[in-house]
């Protein structure tokens, strides 16, 4: 319990600490929200890529060799 002579400073200290904690919590929540949004976008892109039909494989044309002259 703060004494009368330190009461004003103690109250300022407690209020400053509480305000800093609130600001840190808001920052952490914003960062977590941004990270979740990025993960959701990446998952949606991966799902869309998995659902889109794959391009058909293109085979190289076969070149036949001329028969060897004997």
Q: Are 2 and 10 in contact (CB under 8 A)?
A: yes
Report, as an integer, the average pLDDT of 29-40. 92
pTM of the complete model: 0.51
- With vertex at residue 41, the alpha carbon angle to CA 39 and CA 47, rounded to the nearest 5 degrees, is 100
For residues 23 and 31, what is the distance between their CA atoms, to the nearest angstrom? 12
For CA atoms 39, 43, 49, 52, the dihedral sign is negative
For residues 45 and 37, what is the distance between their CA atoms, to the nearest angstrom? 12
What percent of the chain has a predicted confidence (pLDDT) above 70?
74
For residues 47 and 43, what is the distance between their CA atoms, to the nearest angstrom? 6
Q: Is residue 2 pLDDT above 60, yes or no?
A: no
- In this prediction, residue 25 carries a pLDDT of 96
Structure confidence by residue, pLDDT tens digits, 35-66 = 999 898 888 888 887 776 655 666 767 677 77
């Amino acid at each position: 319990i703060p004494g009368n002579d330190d009461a004003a400073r103690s109250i300022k200290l407690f209020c400053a600490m509480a305000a800093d904690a609130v600001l840190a919590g808001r920052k952490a929540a914003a960062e977590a929200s941004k990270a979740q949004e990025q993960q959701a976008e990446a998952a949606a892109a991966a799902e869309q890529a998995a659902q889109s039909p794959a391009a058909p494989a293109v085979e190289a044309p076969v070149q036949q060799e001329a028969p060897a002259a004997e």
